[in-house]
Structure 1
Amino acid sequence: MLILLPPSEGKSAAAKGDPLDLAGLAFPELAEARAEVLDALEKTSAHEDAHAILGVGASLADEIRRNLLLRDSPAAPAHAIYTGVLYDALGYRTMTAAQKRKTDAAVVVVSGLWGAIGFGDTIPAYRLSMSVDLPGIGKLTAFWRSRLASVLDARAGGSLVVDCRSSSYAAVWSPSTERTVAVNVLQERNGKRTVVSHFAKHTRGELARHLLTRRGKQPETPAHLLRAASELWTCELTPANTRRAAQLNIILAAG
């Protein structure tokens, strides 16, 4: 099983640790591309209009300045750097040692800076969204789309891919529709269903945790995933077709 996650916007900077080792990250085939994006991000972050280019408010000036020191800043495992609703719900810190090993093996984070990394890869805290048009690189979605396909196709192999990415990160790689399930979270009120972004992040984190900590075999097919998710939620599965992966809809009752 491969679980795809987006990065968090907010990140918790490491207080200590060795600096970034680009060659030590998963998917070493991406090392040259990562270095290109890293160089461009450093140059952009030194620009007086960096906050506008990177699409962040002036209140995040400290995070932009942090982008200037990424090669020398302390690095920590991705699961410690990424924070926020989804990652809080996943709760890596409270897992057992065996569950953490399973999580490190199963989770890949798709990133605007790194392309894709393993959950145990050590990285510094940074600020860069996949939606950015980065000077010297161009639109990051297009840049990474041309580089991730072969790498992630090989990583997925014949495994079930549980896609918990948000739309901009999903745009950079489309796994085989036959082996992929995209996770949607809907809220139902008075018979009407709506998409709820905040609860979606939380529920996707809870789903990832459930799949990685429950007893028994990991799901190997969309039908297996539906059964596993239905242990906690009301769920529906829309089958895949030639153009679209299967869709797991998790239905939350309105509070």
Structure 2
Amino acid sequence: MEIQRKFLKDAEKISFDLDHRRKLEHNISRYNVNVLKGKQQFSDLELARKKAANLKHKILNDLDKYLIEFELNFQKNGGKVIATELTAADRTLRRKLHQTVARVTEDLDHDFKFNTAIAGMMELVNDLTSLPENIHASVLREVGVNLAKLCAPFFPHLAEELWEALGNAPSVFGQSWPKWDKAVATEESVTVVVQVNGKLRSKLDVAAQTPQETLTAMALADPKVIAAAEGREPKKIIVVPDKLVNVVF
């Protein structure tokens, strides 16, 4: 009986191992090893499945369009970004890139938030593949080079393939981690909420980093704030730059 129990226990273990291997092989054939490695960063299996499917479509398939666009247009300025030549769409994509580098760097440096880091890269790829086709070639290259570096810890095969497709050598794994420029990453315009005694009254569309004095003056001149004031002078004005102005009466 003891031998039988041991045999059944070992058989159960072997059966589990075989089943695990079959599932692993199925996932590799379904998604490929890049996606499988990336989806392991998510603890929730159902979420992992959805993320893997989306990653396969967005990163592995849609980037083909990006690479074709890059190869057709990358001729000018030797790949250098000339800020004065950039369109609004160019600046939007470049801003998203630098925001993504900052986000992924922060997620990896603090708490190892792999899932949110991957989500950030997915957002960048979504923006990349949905923008107009006339994006400046130097911006395309900047995005491609840095995206390859960001992908390297999560999708090594994909990162190396993208790195080589952009005409780079040697391996992406011999490169330094990408840097981000705070000035480039900063939004050009923001929506500032205007409150009266903590209640929403209006909104202001202003340039990013508008001085507090200007925000205060704009809020006090807003017709909805004037109506809510009913002739009273404000007791206190709370300003959170780029976010809100709260006028307390």
Shorter-chain TM-score above 0.5: no
Query: Highest Rg: 1 or 2?
Result: 2
User: Given the two structures, how large is their TM-score scaled by the length of structure 1?
Assistant: 0.27
More strand, by proportion: 1
More helix, by proportion: 2
User: Given the two structures, how large is their TM-score scaled by the length of structure 2?
Assistant: 0.28
Larger RCO (CA within 8 A; separation ≥ 6): 1
